[in-house]
Amino acid sequence: MKPIMEKIKVQVPATSANLGSGFDCAGLAYDLYNVFEFEPIDEGLIIDGCDEKYANKDNPAYAAYSAVCKKIGAPVSVKITILETNVPVSRGLGSSATLICAGAYAANRLYGQPLSWDEVFEICTEIEGHPDNVAPALFGSFCTSLITNGKPRTVRFEVSPKIHFTVLIPNFEVKTRDARSVLPHEIERDDAIYNMSRIALLPYAFEKGDFDLLKVVTRDRLHQKYRKKLFKNIDDIKKQAYECGAISFMISGAGSTCLCLSERSIEKELNEKISALPNGWVAKELRISVNGTREVL
């Protein structure tokens, strides 16, 4: 099987998963991208543009690339160049999903797109272990997802331009493994109902930009209260965010980044307030990416 082009450049957006109530099933994509190039080669694997310890077959970009190639019967030898890394690593902004989606998309596109987007999504979800980051990373905008009979399904919603998204990124990492290990194995029925009722209205609230509803539906009782202890000075940061006009504050994915929603831009004011606080928190306003994973020239 021969590629239909010599190489391909792919960009994949950063994502915030969970969004409060949508634990493991909701996520949205930002206009902050990692950019990769994939070039089939005669033999072996070359990965350029990252630390040597990540330049091997365990790299998620290669795992996804080779998974697609094996499925379609294409050769797996490839040179991967990481051209731009704008998404912070291990900060809850979906950096591993960018690698996975890039690898899967690139392999499929290089060999003439024998797989549908749904099949690419399925491979990405299998590698990532959950669909909440890879769905918006692939399809853009705001996605809610589920897994049925081992297969992921996702629905994409529009996001109102009225909503301002400001991520707060600290200088410490929270490992997803640690953030999952602090969660209880059993939950109270009231807490389950609390989250279920909120996630049911979450897409509507994002689509309409209904701030009264957003305040309510982004709240959660299933994960954030348990994870808080893994964060440094999160209460101070939250207080400053609300004082600057945030209407909602949540952990982005498993952290360490937090996300706040507001009716106006609060990035500048928030940075002035938090710059004196420990742990290097930086506020950054991001727009929604409607595109997801795309080929770039």
167 binds ligand HSE (CB under 6 A): no
109 binds ligand HSE (CB under 6 A): no
21 binds ligand HSE (CB under 6 A): no
Is 107:38 a contact under the CB 8 Å cutoff? yes
Question: Contact with ligand HSE (CB under 6 A): which of 133, 195, 224, 262?
Answer: 133
292 binds ligand HSE (CB under 6 A): no
> Judged by CB under 6 A, which stretch of 103-111, 126-134, 187-195, 268-276 contacts ligand HSE?
126-134
Sorted by sequence, the CB contacts under 8 Å of residue 249 that are 6+ apart come out as 238, 241, 242, 258, 259, 260
Question: Contact with ligand HSE (CB under 6 A): which of 109, 130, 164, 273?
Answer: 130
Sorted by sequence, the CB contacts under 8 Å of residue 234 that are 6+ apart come out as 228, 258
> Judged by CB under 6 A, which stretch of 115-123, 174-182, 194-202, 268-276 contacts ligand HSE?
174-182
Question: Contact with ligand HSE (CB under 6 A): which of 176, 233, 279, 291?
Answer: 176
> Judged by CB under 6 A, which stretch of 55-63, 64-72, 108-116, 130-138 contacts ligand HSE?
130-138
Q: Name the residue nearer to ligand HSE (CB basis): 54 or 211.
A: 54
**Angstrom distances, CA of residue 186 to CA of 148, 179, 180, 193, 222:** 21, 16, 13, 14, 10
With CA atoms as reference, report the closest residue to 279 among 172, 145, 184: 172
Is 217:205 a contact under the CB 8 Å cutoff? yes
Is 14:165 a contact under the CB 8 Å cutoff? no
Q: What is the distance between the alpha carbons of residues 100 and 106, in angstroms, rounded to a whole number? A: 10
Q: Name the residue nearer to ligand HSE (CB basis): 208 or 219.
A: 219
User: What does the binding site for ligand HSE look like in residue numbers (CB under 6 A)?
Assistant: 17-18, 24, 130, 132-133, 176, 179-180, 253-254
